[in-house]
């Protein structure tokens, strides 16, 4: 992994994303990071879920809740775009806000998540985004609802891909790596974090 000298958030152009070989991708570790979260983690982010291009669920079988631009500011201490892991929680609809999301009940608890912070080189996006896939089978969409996340560690850099299937395979590996990495007690402790909501 390279260490860019400039914080990821102040970069205005997509960096050249590496294209990795099959053997590199097969040799990925199943668990990442130290035994307990280390600086700059934990990083807290939150904001109302935004509409994107609608590709996550349809194209990749992996819906991602997109955070608003302001939410990215708390990731300013992070110098690397890429895939992160931690926990996330969807908050109830604020009635008077006129928002449309309708997640309720157990959908509003804290769950493991993987987050992609970057330019989605495979899709050649022109803007950096933070997108969160929550490891939970939700009963409904939650556009407009507030989403809070705690980022606890880094998994890998963003890559470019020669096929959609290869990207899908890596996303599956990311989910497995996140779940395994979160099993360690110092990470699991954050499962009890209500992330600004009620118990
Ligand atoms: P968009 O480009 O609009 O973000 P996606 O295809 O990525 O579209 O789907 C994201 C939406 O799907 C989220 O905003 C949320 O409302 C819904 N969703 C359903 N299940 C999940 C999940 N497990 N993780 C994240 N978002 C989910
Ligand atoms: N996009 C890329 O172009 N390269 C990646 O390496 C990449 N990794 C991802 C890993 C995870 C766990 C998730 C949830 C998304 C990833 N994406 C990646 C982003 C993907 O392109 C994006 O979610 C869709 O374009 C929908 O917005
Ligand atoms: Mg999305």
Would the CB of 166 count as within 6 Å of ligand 2? no
Structure tokens at 160: 């470019």
The structure's pTM equals 0.91
pLDDT digits (tens, 9 = 90+) for 124-154: 888 889 999 999 999 899 999 999 999 999 9
pLDDT digits (tens, 9 = 90+) for 7-58: 777 777 787 777 777 777 778 899 999 999 999 999 999 999 999 999 999 9
Q: Which residues are near ligand 3, the ion (C-beta closer than 5 Å)?
A: 52, 56, 64, 66, 131
Contacts of residue 93, defined as CB under 8 A and 6 or more positions apart, other chains included, come to: 99, 101, 102, 103, 144, 145
* pLDDT of res. 40: 94
pLDDT digits (tens, 9 = 90+) for 59-101: 999 999 999 999 998 888 886 889 999 999 999 887 665 555 6
DSSP 20-45: --HHHHHT--SS-S-SS--TT--EEE
Structure confidence at residue 2 as a pLDDT band (50, 70, 90): very low
Local structure of 25: helix, strand or coil? helix
**How many A from CA of 131 to the centre of ligand 3?**
6
Residues 172 and 132 sit within 8 Å (Cβ to Cβ): no
């Amino acid at each position: 992994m390279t260490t860019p000298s400039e914080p990821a958030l102040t970069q205005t152009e997509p960096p050249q994303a590496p294209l990795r070989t099959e053997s590199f991708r097969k040799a990925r570790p199943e668990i990442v990071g130290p035994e307990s979260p280390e600086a700059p983690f934990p990083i807290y982010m939150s904001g109302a879920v935004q509409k994107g291009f609608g590709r996550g669920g349809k194209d990749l079988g992996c819906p991602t809740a997109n955070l608003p631009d302001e939410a990215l500011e708390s990731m300013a201490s992070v110098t690397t775009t890429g895939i992160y892991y931690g926990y996330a929680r969807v908050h109830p609809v604020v009635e008077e806000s006129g928002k449309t999301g309708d997640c309720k009940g157990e959908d509003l608890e804290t769950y493991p998540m993987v987050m992609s912070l970057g330019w989605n080189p495979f899709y050649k996006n022109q803007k950096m985004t933070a997108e969160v896939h929550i490891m939970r089978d939700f009963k409904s969409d939650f556009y407009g609802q507030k989403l809070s996340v705690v980022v606890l560690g880094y998994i890998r850099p963003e890559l470019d891909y020669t096929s959609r299937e290869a990207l899908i395979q890596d996303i599956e590996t990311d989910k497995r790596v996140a779940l395994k990495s979160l099993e360690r007690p110092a990470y699991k402790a954050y499962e009890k974090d209500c992330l600004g909501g009620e118990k």
